[in-house]
A and B are shown apart, each in its own frame.
Chain A
Amino acid sequence: MEKRFWNEYQKEIADDHYFYERSCIRQTFFPGSEAAFLRILRDELGKDICDNPHQHTCTGIGYHSDVVPFETTMTVVARLFSLMTECGYENYVPSCVTSFGVFSEVLEKWEHNPALMDQARQYLWEATKREFKTPKNIVHPSDVIYKFRFELKPRMKYQLINRYTGQPLRVVEHIGCHYAKIFPDRGIGKAEFPYVLAGMIEAWGGTVIDYPERRHCCGFGFRQYLIQENRGYSIANTKKKFQSMEPYEPDFILTNCPGCNMFLDKWQYTIAEMEHKTYDKEGYGIPVLTYEELTGLLLGYDPWTLGLQLHQVQCEPLLNKIGIVYKPDEKYKGISGRLLPRPERPECLRQD
């Protein structure tokens, strides 16, 4: 049998009692994902997870764009830890790969230089009169879903099988640079053999595409993106990935990080607008899902409650392939039951 190197490296993932920290951009662009994660943990797995309303940014985007100094980041992180401590939790779960990288970096620095931690304690005390303990376990939400992927499977209504052909769906996975490239031992399978998303795909019936640019950046890159004139570099990275995955004809892309999800999804529209090119055969674009959305879909959650209508590349062809039942006329129905205005349709991307 082929040797699976990732097997050699697994990380410790707490069993229960998590403190959840929400992502800044995920709330805006893929708003159903975090609600789905909480529902999966509470209703499907019966876990205890705290969703504290007093949380805030981790400063990640500002920090990696060189506008927020490390001392500020450290103090903001210390405040988040103080919320966790106040609620009586020890297992920290930040809903974003960037945050996960920031927390790992801060903790690593404190470990090697305890004077920095004292400094953060002092800043936090002076600013807020708060105190904190460091978490015992810090994992990304995808790690938690990965850990319980086989427990979730029997509860799932659908599998990653193409119902027209009976073949496993072909999936591109993207774990995001800050998940395992900064501190390889914090990611399942380390940076070279990332298995966190691949493990879910394989467990739920799909196959993972191992294409040449699999480990390449999604194109976010923080600073490259923030200045409009520099976005050509950002989109060039994303294009490189699409060109590399195109011959393998993926059915969809699964992402780990809110930023990657946004760029792999929305840049498809921009490239189509600029170069009249899509990377699927039919001109729809390749659907991009978060791992929470995928888990929710397979569990039978309503695609519109999961917020799939807010993606740039529309997901109906994928839903049809899996055989997911959905109501097309409820796509733009708000929570109140009232129909919301339909968004403008781009001419360069096909939609049904």
Chain B
Amino acid sequence: MKNFGFTISTGRSINLDEIREENISKLLEMVPSYKWCIGCGGCTATCSAGAFTNFNIRKIHNSFVRGQYQGLDKELQQCMLCGKCLLVCPRGVNTRSLIVNMRRILAGVEANTFKGKEVIQ
């Protein structure tokens, strides 16, 4: 292929049909506090992993609820589970639990195994 010095950018449109609602309800069942998230990005701003890599926790949970699952499982592996984000969240979202449970859902682990409790605090 000729090198034109640029490539064709891919679209950033969100296809609502790709959202799997059962994933969102599973996540909310496992981490009820996620309902309070206002998307402020405090978690991302304080994240040590994000300071050194392009890891972005707000972007990840946003992508999850928008049905943009591609590559998320790999991205989530960059989290060290240190819990700093949990300390700064102004809405009291249990972000660490959010991360662990997003990993579980993406790995296909059933929600009712953990029913009723926010696993991994």
Contacts and interface: CB of A to CB of B under 8 A. Distances in A.
B7 A232 contact: yes
A231 interface: yes
Contacts of B11: 236, 240
Interface string B1-43: 1101111111100000000000000000000000000000000
A275 B1 CA distance: 9
* Secondary structure type dominating chain B contacts: loop
Interface residues of B, number: 10
A230 B6 contact: yes
Interface of B: 1-2, 4-11
B9 A274 contact: no
A274 B5 contact: no
Interface string A220-247: 0000000011111101100110000000
Contact of B8 (A228, A229, A230, A236): A236
Contacts of B10: 236
8 contacts: A229-B5, A230-B6, A232-B8, A236-B10, A270-B4, A271-B8, A273-B1, A274-B8
CB-based closest 3 A-B pairs: A232-B9, A236-B9, A231-B6
Interface of A: 228-233, 235-236, 239-240, 270-271, 273-275
A270 to B, nearest CB: 6
Contacts of A232: 6-9
Nearest to B2: A273
A314 to B, nearest CB: 20
A235 B4 CA distance: 12
* B1, B4, B6, B8: most-surrounded residue (chain A CB, <10 A): B8
B16 to A, nearest CB: 16
Contacts of A239: 8
B9 A233 contact: yes
* B2, B6, B10: most-surrounded residue (chain A CB, <10 A): B6
* B2, B5, B9, B11: most-surrounded residue (chain A CB, <10 A): B9
A271 B8 CA distance: 8
Contacts of B9: 232-233, 235-236
Contacts of A274: 1-2, 4, 7-8
B2 A228 contact: no
A228 B1 contact: no
B5 A228 contact: yes
Nearest to A240: B11
Contacts of A271: 8
Contacts of A275: 8
Nearest to B7: A232
B115 to A, nearest CB: 43
Nearest to A231: B6
* A232, A239, A275: most-surrounded residue (chain B CB, <10 A): A232
B43 to A, nearest CB: 30
Given A233-B9, A273-B1, A274-B4, 13 more contacts: A228-B4, A228-B6, A231-B5, A231-B6, A232-B6, A235-B6, A235-B8, A236-B8, A236-B9, A236-B11, A270-B4, A271-B8, A273-B4
